[in-house]
Copies of this chain bind each other. A is one copy, B any other.
Amino acid sequence: MFISTYENKLDKKGRVSVPASFRSYLSSLGYNSVVCYPSFTNSSIEFCPQSRIEKLSDSIDSLSPFEENRDTFATSILADSFQLNFDSDGRVVLPKKLLDHSGIKETVFFVGQGKTFQMWEPQKFSKFREEARKKAKTLRSNLKWS
A contacts, CB < 8 Å to B: 1-5, 21, 35, 40-42, 50, 53-61, 65-66, 68-69, 71-83, 111-115, 128-129, 131-133, 135-137, 139-140, 142-146
Contacts and interface: CB of A to CB of B under 8 A. Distances in A.
Contact of A78 (B71, B83, B113): B113
Contacts of A73: 136, 139-140, 143
A77 B36 CA distance: 22
A55 B145 contact: yes
B139 A79 contact: no
Given A60-B143, A69-B142, 14 more contacts: A3-B35, A3-B78, A4-B80, A4-B83, A59-B143, A59-B144, A60-B113, A60-B114, A61-B115, A72-B131, A73-B139, A76-B132, A76-B136, A79-B111
